[in-house]
Amino acid sequence: MPIVKVFSQAGKLQFQIFADGGVSIAKSIPYRKICNLEDALRSLYRISMTSSDVVFSNKDGLHQISAKSMRQRLTLSEVTSSEHFVRILKEISNARIIDSRSPERRRTDLGGSLKSLM
């Protein structure tokens, strides 16, 4: 089961997606606000639920993922392999979130299942 790790780095919030075996496959762009990060995680979930019609593109060094049937887009700063990412996308809907931010930096604990954010 994939894992989505939420962390804070240099005052910005990000998430990183790990496949089975702990291999990192993608990292989000930095977000200033927790609400933006939560929206990105919701987009990740929605896109993973429509994994059969995913569009993967590169623009200005960033990776954009969207579903043909949706207007939502998710921008990632790092993707190890777009083919590998698309292959496990369906499994991401069942991902577990690990919130690794320090307790004093949390508004809410995002730990749990990705689906629970919906």
* Domains, in order of start, for the chain: 3-117 (2.30.29.80)
- Digitized pLDDT (tens) for each residue of the chain, 118 residues in all: 899 999 998 889 999 999 988 889 999 999 999 999 999 999 999 888 886 788 888 888 899 998 888 777 899 999 988 788 888 888 888 899 999 988 777 777 788 888 887 7
Contact indicator for 88, 25 with CB cutoff of 8 Å: yes
DSSP string, 44-100: HHHHHHTGGGEEEEEETTEEEEEETT---EEEEEEES-HHHHHHHHHHHTTPEEEE-
- pTM value is 0.89
Residue range 70-88, pLDDT digits in tens: 777 899 999 988 788 888 8
